[in-house]
Amino acid sequence: MSSTVEITAQNFDATIAKGGIVLLDWWAGWCAPCRAFAPTFEAAATQHPDIVFGKVNTEEQPDLSAGFQVRSIPTLMIFKDGILIFSQPGMLPSHVLDDLIIQARALDMDAVRAEIAEKEKQAPAKMASGSPS
């Protein structure tokens, strides 16, 4: 039995909104690197049952893929408490995926939210002054 969840446009928001850590593997059936990464992703899902591991089939979810500007697959995205904290295309070896999970668990989300709020405060000032971002 699979430890991963199929993510679609219909369940994406609800999955991310649950909070905690969500790892998404953006893939397609025709993609050899995607098929090669799948066992690594599945093994990590089995080892970390407290984390949601979702798979987004880019062929079946083109609008979702376009919305997140997925241009290369496989792409791994990590959300924590509803905030995208990592996005990178390419296959990852299991030890790198494990390290990313450790880093995601340790990430201080209060600091992340404070940094986002600060950037949002500065953005209108930069736009008004004509400064590039």
pLDDT digits (tens, 9 = 90+) for 15-38: 999 989 999 999 999 999 999 999
- How many domains does the chain contain in total? 1
Q: Please indicate whether residue 19 or residue 46 has the higher confidence score (pLDDT).
A: 46
Residues 6+ apart with CB under 8 A from 65: 26, 56, 58
- 61 falls within a domain: yes
Residue range(s) defining the domain that contains residue 56: 5-107
pLDDT band at 1 (very low <50, low <70, confident <90, very high): very low
pTM of this structure: 0.87
Q: Please indicate whether residue 94 or residue 132 has the higher confidence score (pLDDT).
A: 94
pLDDT of residue 38: 96
Q: Please indicate whether residue 131 or residue 42 has the higher confidence score (pLDDT).
A: 42
Give me the active site residues, please.
31, 34
Distance of CA 45 to CAs 39, 48, 50, 115, 128, Å? 10, 5, 9, 30, 46
pLDDT digits (tens, 9 = 90+) for 79-92: 999 999 999 999 99
Rounded Cα distance between 29 and 65, Å, is: 15
CB atoms within 10 A of CB 49: 9
- 130 falls within a domain: no
- 131 falls within a domain: no
- 113 falls within a domain: no
- Please give the share of the chain, as a percent, with pLDDT higher than 70: 91
What is the strand order of the sheet 5-6 is part of? 5-6, 52-57, 21-27, 75-80, 83-89
- 91 falls within a domain: yes
Rounded Cα distance between 12 and 65, Å, is: 11
